[in-house]
Amino acid sequence: MSLSSMSIFAMAQSKMSWLGQRQTVLAQNIANADTPSYRAKDLEALDFQKVMRAQRVTKLAMAHTNEGHFATVAKTGDYRVTRAHESDVYEVNPSGNAVILEEQMIKLSENNVQYQLAANIYQKNLTMLRLAVSGGTK
């Protein structure tokens, strides 16, 4: 059994994947802060109910011919559906650029906090699993 087949680990991996891709989009916004007519982008928010529905779907696991073989690695979702902030832009440079660096830095900070939370959840559940398997001894 692989860790990705357990729902808590799969959800943490999914959240970390989404946050990693969001980090890339936010970094592109900052990199294009001086590009004329560039509009800040962001990812669609991760829908918790959608993730939970996806976990209910049974997936066929690859057959192992030997116990020593590695378990298959779960595919990460592609969350790179970005949206431009057309309606909520309240500050635009004379060049037409609508990237507000302070806003992007706040989003990066929030993204980092959320990533640390997901990583901590993953790590704590892994520690509990190891404790359960070892019979209570470290």
Locate the domains of the chain by residue range. 3-134
Provide the pLDDT for residue 84. Answer: 54
Provide the pLDDT for residue 70. Answer: 59
The set of residues, in sequence order, having a beta carbon less than 8 Å from that of 111 and lying 6+ positions away, is 19, 22, 23, 26
Provide the pLDDT for residue 50. Answer: 72
What letter represents residue 75's amino acid? K
Provide the pLDDT for residue 56. Answer: 60
Residue written as token pair 């860790």: 3
Terminal-to-terminal C-alpha distance of the chain? 21
In DSSP notation, 55-81 reads HHS--PPPPPSSTTSPPPPPPPP----
Q: What is the mean pLDDT of each run of 10 residues along the chain (138 residues)?
A: 77 90 94 90 80 58 63 53 55 78 93 95 92 79
Provide the pLDDT for residue 25. Answer: 94
Provide the pLDDT for residue 78. Answer: 56
